[in-house]
Copies of this chain bind each other. A is one copy, B any other.
């Protein structure tokens, strides 16, 4: 599966010492998405816009700001994070994802 007729920014987005990286993609109708990977580990991210993350490969556990516990997500599943919030993510198996900013 591919994204077609998009713009891809040459410079990678780099977080957590390179253990989390992504590429910014702009669709024909101006929507920004990122295609990223995360190595195993536990990370915390803040959000500005609401985010919807599709798991292309891998396995992770997610704890949103409003959650009391962790939820598992596998390849083919999606999780959403409200805007102006944060979430913790434990990457169990190398993660390949697409992040949509809603």
- CB within 8 A of A12: which of B6, B11, B56? B56
Chain A residues engaging chain B, CB cutoff 8 angstroms: 1-12, 14, 17-19, 21, 23, 25-26, 35, 37, 39-40, 56-57, 94, 96, 98
- CB within 8 A of A10: which of B35, B40, B94? B35
A37 touches B21 (CB 8 A): yes
B12 touches A96 (CB 8 A): yes
**CA distance in complex: A21, B12 (Å):** 11
Known A21-B21, A23-B23, A37-B21; contact A96-B14, beta-carbon cutoff 8 A: yes
Known A5-B5, A21-B21; contact A98-B39, beta-carbon cutoff 8 A: no
B14 touches A37 (CB 8 A): yes
B11 touches A56 (CB 8 A): yes
A39 touches B18 (CB 8 A): yes
